Amino acid sequence: MTTKRGLITDSFKVVKKSRRGAKQRKSPTPPPSQPEDVAPSAREEDLQQLKQFDLDWRFGPCTGISRLQRWERAKLHGLNPAEEIRELLLQTQLSLWLSYTVSLSLL
């Protein structure tokens, strides 16, 4: 699988624990606050919205079909899915990356 659009470590930063000698193992310090908190949180918010869409029981099963196909099906049967979900899905930057995370988030 190509990951040209981003790596998982973009969204979930690797936290390196600093070693202070073998015996003085204290509880790991919390990760330092990210300077770019603002930008990924918008993306994470979108991701959360899409996850909520996946788990919404009114639109049927979510596995095996793409989110856009599921949205289209819901629209076809008159279940009024939110339009903003469709807009999110059509933004090209997000769609590929997030469709990759569907399989991860459902694990």
Among 48, 77, 80, 91, binds another protein (CB under 8 A): 77
Region binding another protein by CB under 8 A among candidate stretches 25-33, 36-44, 68-76, 80-88: 68-76
Q: Which of 52, 15, 57, 49 is nearest to 34 (CA)?
A: 15
Q: Where are the alpha helices (DSSP H) in the chain?
A: 8-11, 38-55, 67-76, 83-90, 92-105
Residue 65 interacts with another protein (CB under 8 A): yes or no = yes
| One of 43, 51, 73, 86 touching another protein (CB under 8 A) | 73
CA distance 37 to 59: 32
Q: Which residues here bind another protein, judged by CB under 8 A?
A: 57-58, 60-61, 63-65, 69, 72-73, 76-79
